[in-house]
Amino acid sequence: MKVKAKSKNNITTVRVLAKHPMETGRRVDKESGEKIPAHYIQELTCEHNGKVVFLAQLSTSVSQNPYLAFSFEGGVKGEVLQLRWNDNMGEIKKVETKIK
Amino acid sequence: MVISRRKFVNLVTLGSTACLTLLTPITSWAAWASDAFNATKTEDVYQNLFGSTELIESDEVALKVPKIAENGGAVPVSIKTQMKGVESISIVVKDNPQPLSASFQIPAGTIADVSTRIRLAQTSTVTAVIKANGKLYTKSQEVKVTIGGCGG
């Protein structure tokens, strides 16, 4: 998961690129002829100073390697943001990033 | 089987959290809104996600999507509004097998301005739904797709 957070005029803009196949469950494996099971991020959250500033619920119709951009009031250079996603197979990924 | 004190405490906490999650309504975003995401009709999406199908079309909702998408697998979408009291922003693609694409919670202090990339199975109307002050405001635009995003 790549995260870029920038603070300007007391507004922090966050851009996230999560690495994930986002399988729809509708694709067929060309070699075995079997359906590839659905595998996708369900929730992505961003916390700043212990407060959730953004919560995204996603489905299979979000593109592969999901891109998300959002912004919130506050946030100072050097402060840490905690990002976390979990997918339908129970996988969890956490990333911390400093605001620039 | 002997359960240690620590394990017992953990089990109780887990159990009560699960109960709470089940008891809280969908609107509180306690869990992934599976009913809304699995719905195959847009009316069911609205009913399951918001408990209402009363939509108000509004020019205050700014929806930015391309008119023609060469690749339906990654269509950029940006939604923003100047409205106050925004609670959530959702993206609904009418002609996708499951219309609800994504839903974003906007807590106080977060700016109602989000961007992402979505999949379109075929040419479809894309609708941005903003929940503000308990009401649903929408803006739609058609996106023509030359190559589908879902399926092989």
Distance between B4 CA and the closest CA of chain A, angstroms: 26
Asked if B29 and A55 come within 8 Å (Cβ–Cβ), the reply is yes
- Tell me the pLDDT tens digit for each residue of A7-48: 999 999 999 999 999 998 888 888 888 888 889 999 999 999
Beta bridge partners of A45: A55, A84
- Interior angle at CA A93, CA A89 and CA A98, nearest 5: 160
pTM of the predicted model as reported, rounded to 2 decimal places: 0.82
CB-based contacts of B142, cutoff 8 Å, min separation 6 = B67, B123, B124, B125, B126
Give the model's confidence band at B30: pLDDT under 50 very low, under 70 low, under 90 confident, else very high. low
* pLDDT the model gives residue B13: 75
Please indicate whether, in this complex, the C-beta atoms of A24 and B150 are within 8 angstroms of each other.
Answer: yes
Residue scoring higher pLDDT (B18 or B37): B37
Cα distance between residue B131 and residue B103, in whole Å: 11
pLDDT digits (tens, 9 = 90+) for B112-152: 999 999 999 889 999 999 999 999 999 999 999 886 555 54
pLDDT, average across residues B106-116: 94
Helix (H, G, I), strand (E, B) or coil at B102: strand
Arithmetic mean of pLDDT over chain B: 85
What is the pLDDT at residue B25? 40
* B119 CB within 8 Å of a chain A CB: yes
Closest to A37 in 3D by CA, of A48, A24, A50, A56:
A24
- Taking alpha carbons only, the member of B116, B107, B87 closest to residue A47 is B107
The two structure tokens encoding residue B123: 């040419």
Q: Dump pLDDT digits (tens) for B81-99.
A: 999 999 999 999 999 999 9
Range list of H helices, chain B: 5-23, 34-38, 42-50
> Collapsing DSSP states into helix, strand and coil, what is residue A14?
strand
Which residue out of A44, A46, A59 would a mutagenesis test of the B interface target, given it has the greatest number of B Cβ atoms within 10 Å? A59
Q: Nearest Cβ partner of A71 from B74, B100, B111?
A: B111
Backbone angles phi, psi at B20, to 5 degrees: -60, -45
Q: Give me the interface pTM, i.e. the ipTM.
A: 0.91
Gap between the terminal Cα atoms of chain B: 50
Query: Any CB–CB contact under 8 A between A55 and chain B?
Result: yes
**Partner B contacted by A41 (CB < 8 A):** no
B117, A58 contact by CB (below 8 A) = no
- Spatial CA neighbour of B67 closest among B79, B59, B58, B76: B76
